[in-house]
Amino acid sequence: MALLKVKFDQKKRVKLAQGLWLMNWFSVLAGIIIFSLGLFLKIELRKRSDVMNNSESHFVPNSLIGMGVLSCVFNSLAGKICYDALDPAKYARWKPWLKPYLAICVLFNIVLFLVALCCFLLRGSLENTLGQGLKNGMKYYRDTDTPGRCFMKKTIDMLQIEFKCCGNNGFRDWFEIQWISNRYLDFSSKEVKDRIKSNVDGRYLVDGVPFSCCNPSSPRPCIQYQITNNSAHYSYDHQTEELNLWVRGCRAALLSYYSSLMNSMGVVTLLIWLFEVTITIGLRYLQTSLDRVPNPEEPESESEGWLLEKSVPETWKAFLESVKKLGKGNQVEAEGADAGQAPEAG
């Protein structure tokens, strides 16, 4: 028994074809939107590629760009099919290709749904790549004279100013690395010598942070050196007083920014997916109703359209049987090829 059977007369078929034609051109615009969202996200990720550890984070924007292009192509073709469906002579040319085309549309909708889910689910991967990338970027902060790394100081400083953050997980991350270049250290100074000697790796570590960690909203002048030394500053206690530095780490700030972007894009993609599913269902009704017209020379006659020719369990069973037959057919062909090679070997 057919699933969700609906009766159509000529007037209903014409309205359905015209409505689908209009919806398909709206979907072309939706495809352009998906493409634009993916391109925007890719540009935003490339801006901070220096503080990202790998290219896995580009999977979502690349997928959105690809699905946007495919959406424009498929919906343009569907619009042409719906336009020609009003003319029996033109529709006859499309008729043999409609079932494969609908199967491709179903596959496209599945992939589009998975891409929308990826927009929500790749937060963990993004967090790891940001954490490792920021750690490496902070390590190279002092290498202003090293080719290929001389830009890292500016990148980190601009990042901390723009996103109002400090360090990877917090400002204390700067205490664990030497972020001041040896070029600007006075090695004749006893303090510098003592600090370097006291460190196993011979690094110059200080309880200070770069200027870009300072919060300009603080009423007190920025304390960026000797942050944990209360006696070095008047009326100061680093444990109880609110510091005039950005408290949030840059990993959390960037993760929040990109997550909000991808969540918004995921919502938009899901809405477009629902629209695409509606169009695919409409195309299926149009195809079955036109195929069931008793006499193509009498287009005014009534016909029936449906979503599935059989019930869902029967359709699934028939699909599995067709897959099994296809597998057996490939096996027989392989055995025939082996049998043909055996006499030659003899």
Q: Cα–chain-centroid distance for residue 342?
A: 51
- What angle do the packed helices 59-84 and 10-47 form, to 10 degrees? 160
Helix (H) or strand (E) holding 192: helix 190-198
Interstrand relation of 6-8 and 303-305 (parallel, antiparallel or unpaired):
antiparallel
Q: How many CB atoms lie within 10 A of CB 209?
A: 25
Chain length of the chain: 346
Query: What pLDDT score was predicted for residue 250?
Result: 94
Q: How many CB atoms lie within 10 A of CB 117?
A: 13
Structure tokens at 121: 């689910």
Q: How many CB atoms lie within 10 A of CB 55?
A: 11
- The HSE-up count of residue 47 (CA atoms within 13 Å, CB side) is 11
Structure tokens at 105: 């549309």
Give, as one character, the DSSP assignment of residue 8.
E
3-class secondary-structure state, position 299: coil
Nearest residue to 44 via CA among 259, 247, 249, 248? 259
Q: Cα–chain-centroid distance for residue 289?
A: 38
Query: What pLDDT score was predicted for residue 53?
Result: 74
pTM: 0.80
Q: For each successive 10 residues of the chain (346 residues), what is the average pLDDT?
A: 68 85 93 95 89 77 94 91 80 81 91 94 85 89 84 92 92 91 85 83 87 87 85 77 81 93 94 94 84 67 68 62 63 56 50
Structure tokens at 49: 């590629």
Structure tokens at 78: 């569907």
Query: What pLDDT score was predicted for residue 164?
Result: 93
Per the CB < 8 A criterion, the answer to whether 8 and 289 are in contact is yes
Amino acid at 204: Y
Residues 314 and 305: their CA atoms lie apart, in Å, by 18
Structure tokens at 316: 């699934």
Structure tokens at 11: 């007037």
